[in-house]
A and B are shown apart, each in its own frame.
Chain A
Amino acid sequence: MATTLSPVAVDEPKLGGRGPTIAPPPCDGGWGGGRPDEHRDRLRRYRIGMFFALTAVVMLFVSFTSAYIVRQGVGTWSDASARYVTDWQPISLPPILWINTVILLLSSFTLAMAQRTLSRKLKAAPRGGTLTMPEPMLIVDGQRSIPWLGITVILGAGFLVGQLLAWEQLRHLGIFVSTNPSSSFFYVLTGAHGLHLLGGVLALGYAGLTSLLRKPLATRFLVVDVTALYWHFMDFLWIYIFALLHFAR
């Protein structure tokens, strides 16, 4: 004789529970092809991942910032003057940084344009499997659009070169990494930011090459989308660093 017991833990799923309609992530790192649904899931997953990756980057630069502020305020006892003196001597920032800032801001704009173009292409692509085709087989509107992605990569590289030029100018003035704590922090902050941006340039370069590598359009869209999050953040981070170096001298 069977008795049905309903009160046994039937509370409805609250958060989560997207369930079997969602395809499981492919075991190849998510770069492979699949149904259009899968594209949406992967996009969400990569955006979450990028958000938390940026959290880690924030912590790195928060640490540098707190070190900056602490180090600026540290005094050394001087017998001669019988008081604590600071060895911090502000450096004058190379003016080229302003140009670099404009270049970086421009690159964020061109990247946003690249995203728009790509997402139009993606929307125009017929549903049901076409997304997974290698890109060259996909003819959307027949007209060539402005290569925003390429322009962004060039602007990003331009920014990096500009930063190197700024270093070069300081070197000419005899200001090296170990010259003064202020210069040490200048090189550390710009260097760490530059390395991070280099990662972004490489990722966009990869996105640009996806059609040559015969990857699906969706992959290019995905890479550009999450790199754009990263890129805009690097943009913001640079403005923050520049402001810190400028105002907290």
Chain B
Amino acid sequence: MSEQHAHAAPTGFIRKYVFSLDHKVIGLQYYFLALVAVFVGMFLSLFMRIHLVWPEANLPWFGHIKPEQYLTLLTMHGTIMVFFVLTTAPQSGFGNYFLPIQIGAPDMAFPTLNMLSFWTTFVSFMVMLAAFFVEGGAPLAGWTNYVTLSAIPSAGPGLGLGEDLWIISIAIFCVASLMGALNFITTTLDLRARGMSLFRMPLTCWAWFVTAMLGLLAFGVLLAGGILLLLDRNVGTSFFVPGGLNVSGNLSFPPGGLNPGGHPITHTGGSPLLWQHLFWFFGHPEVYIAILPGMGVASQLLSTFSRKPIFGYKAMVYAILSIGMLGFLVWGHHMFMSGMSPYSAFAFSVMTMAIGVPSAIKTFNWLGTLWGGRIRFATPMLFAIGFVSLFVSGGLSGPFLAQPVLDIPLHDTAFVVAHFHLIMGVAAIFGIFAGTYYWFPKMFGRMMNETLGKIHFFITLAGTYAVFMPMHYLGMAGQPRRYSQFTELQYLQHLIPLNQFISIAAFITIAGQFVFVFNLFWSMKKGKKAEINPWEATTLEWTVPSPPPHDNFGGVTPVVNHGPYEYSVPGAAKDYIMQTDPATVTAH
């Protein structure tokens, strides 16, 4: 920790790019970690789609996929996408880079802690990837890691060391996320520039702030569950594992048996449902951790590119807050199948449907923002509109699944796959894309190519709809999820053509992502030089050079005089007023 040169930029490569304390570098580190992760996750889904419709296919350098390997693909796809992409890029990536700049701070509140949380996340990712290469391979217990599979090493391949690595990786990830969350919260509360009242913060900052709150309250619960699960697996405790289990032909205690390692299985009386409660108490807020930053970005972009103030700023803030709060009261809706009391199910159901209210407020406000605007259809805006579209499409199936009577037949079908991929998977990814195209000029000083951006947008939008919309139908027709080989099931034969269509749509969508990656790296070197404020936006990051200097504002602390979305103010000289413009604006 350099004491004397607190404000000087580091010069050595290691301090500048590797163990950097600069929130901008750390933000980019998170972003690129997520980029690597998303490609790993995407290829896993590619293999899954191939296996689902051509189960006998021989894949290059993979060979023939066995049913248990399909479960491994499914587990690791979900885990990597949820933790290392959807939690990492929108919050830790963009949040780290832009939260301090947007509130007028020179860095995060605790830069060293910030560096530590990135490198902890990195270690966690490496441990997760290591699970692929150990004996038995990666685990197959699903990203929810239900203890019926995960607690007993002999329950299947990949549930030995691979499963331990999974739990350890997630535990490390929890610690990293907790460090990140408290940094975000402290930064937002304590480092705002003069005039940056809470209700002058851009909605992106609100989203990052509430997301950090969710992370702070949720990750500790998953950590607790992970610790107990590790003990069940390795020390022989019985927090989650009941007695009398028949595991691969060995009965667990009583009356006793041996697992393949030769150790007696002595579990008694544990509660598998306890894990589900702990997991989903984390898991449901996690869904909002993935999507809230996207909501922030969408709000920011819709206002900027419609040249209109965001419709109902305060309503948007209260909606984010209430979504965050309700997010902690609905975890039971993931467990309607568990045989819970109908009264509990009813309570969880009502709470869940209540989330429809703030979600609808947000949607109507987004539409209200677009209404009558002078819309500029730049690529970031297209992705922001795409976000709203996907959020609505995915959200509408929410109230269906929120009702136990409908959830019970639909729960284990492709219907749920369609629901959560649209609303938290692809919608959040669209938020990441929107953020990337929007902030790229600020982060790298150059513009991304618009034509390639638009090609990427239309392939991805059409592609994801082609992939996930038909899954609603598949689900209602009774196609189960998580099954490896339903091509052999008689009653699903008529769905095979539709499944093939989905797989082909997925291949095209995946191919389209290479357009994005090419555009990303090509534009860093060859893109058109970006001005300070290419989108004519109002927030603070557009007042500093691109890329911003080491301490963001060159030693000057900005003074904020305006709200974040003052577009097309009557009588003003320009159609936008920067947050730092003088309080009284002179028109010529």
Contact = CB atoms under 8 A, between A and B. Distances in A.
Interface of A: 1-6, 8-10, 13-20, 22, 24-34, 44-45, 48-49, 52-53, 55-60, 62-64, 66-67, 70-71, 74-76, 86-88, 177-178, 181, 184, 188, 192
A71 to B, nearest CB: 6
20 contacts: A5-B572, A8-B566, A9-B562, A9-B569, A13-B196, A17-B194, A19-B195, A27-B22, A27-B111, A28-B112, A44-B190, A49-B109, A52-B182, A52-B185, A67-B228, A71-B239, A74-B270, A75-B269, A178-B231, A178-B238
A87 B268 contact: yes
B113 A8 contact: no
Contacts of A177: 231, 235-237
State the 9 A-B residue pairs at the shortest beta-carbon distance, nearest first. A19-B194, A29-B112, A26-B6, A59-B220, A63-B224, A178-B236, A87-B269, A16-B192, A60-B220
Contacts of B403: none
A74 B3 CA distance: 55
A141 to B, nearest CB: 27
Given A5-B572, A67-B239, A16 B21 contact: no
Given A29-B1, A60-B223, A67-B278, A45 B109 contact: yes
Contact of B551 (A4, A20, A27, A88): A27
A25 B109 contact: yes
A3 B21 contact: no
A207 to B, nearest CB: 15
Contacts of B106: 24-25, 27
B584 A10 contact: yes
B105 A24 contact: yes
Interface string B100-116: 00000111011111000
Contact of B3 (A4, A33, A59, A192): A33
Contacts of B217: 55-56, 59
A20 B219 contact: no
B271 interface: yes
Contacts of A4: 584, 586
B49 interface: no
B1 to A, nearest CB: 5
B481 interface: no
Given A63-B225, A74-B271, A28 B238 contact: no
Nearest to B200: A13
A15 B182 contact: no
Contacts of B7: 24, 26-27
Contacts of A63: 220-221, 223-225, 278, 281
A184 B197 contact: no
Contact of A10 (B105, B235, B281, B583): B583
A16 B219 CA distance: 28
A33 B3 CA distance: 7
Interface stretch (B53-61, B497-505, B553-561): B553-561
A8 B194 contact: no
A178 B21 contact: no
Contacts of A5: 571-572, 584-587
Contacts of B556: 20
Interface string B12-48: 0000000001100000000000000000000000000
Interface residues on B, range: 35 or more
Contacts of A6: 584
B71 interface: no
Contacts of A17: 192-197, 560
A50 to B, nearest CB: 9
A58 B57 CA distance: 51
Contacts of B195: 13, 16-17, 19
B572 A8 contact: yes
B588 interface: yes
A52 B181 CA distance: 9
Contacts of A1: 588
Nearest to A5: B571
A74 B242 CA distance: 10
Nearest to B3: A32
A8 B277 contact: no
B219 A56 contact: yes
Contacts of B588: 1-2
A67 B243 contact: no
Nearest to B274: A70
B266 interface: yes
B21 A28 contact: yes
A175 to B, nearest CB: 13
B244 interface: yes
Contacts of A2: 586-588
A110 to B, nearest CB: 28
A76 B182 contact: no
Given A1-B588, A2-B587, A4-B584, A29 B110 contact: yes
A48 to B, nearest CB: 5
Interface string B79-116: 00000000000000000000000000111011111000
B191 interface: yes
Contact of B6 (A16, A34, A70): A34
A29 B111 contact: yes
Nearest to A54: B182
B198 interface: yes
Contacts of B189: 48
Interface in B530-588: 550-551, 555-557, 559-563, 566, 569, 571-572, 577, 583-588
B11 interface: no
B199 interface: yes
Nearest to B108: A25
A66 B186 CA distance: 28
A29 to B, nearest CB: 3
A179 B274 CA distance: 20
B220 A56 contact: yes
B216 interface: yes
B227 interface: yes
A101 to B, nearest CB: 24
Nearest to B271: A74
A165 to B, nearest CB: 21
Among A19, A27, A59, which residue has the most Cβ atoms of chain B within 10 A? A27
Name the residue in A26, A75, A86 with the highest tally of chain B Cβ atoms < 10 Å from its Cβ: A26
Nearest to B113: A29
A9 B577 contact: yes
Contacts of A30: 109-111
Interface in B457-509: none
Given A63-B278, A71-B270, A9 B561 contact: yes
B2 interface: yes
Contacts of B550: 27
B21 A74 contact: no
A220 to B, nearest CB: 14
Contacts of A32: 1-4, 6
A31 B271 contact: no
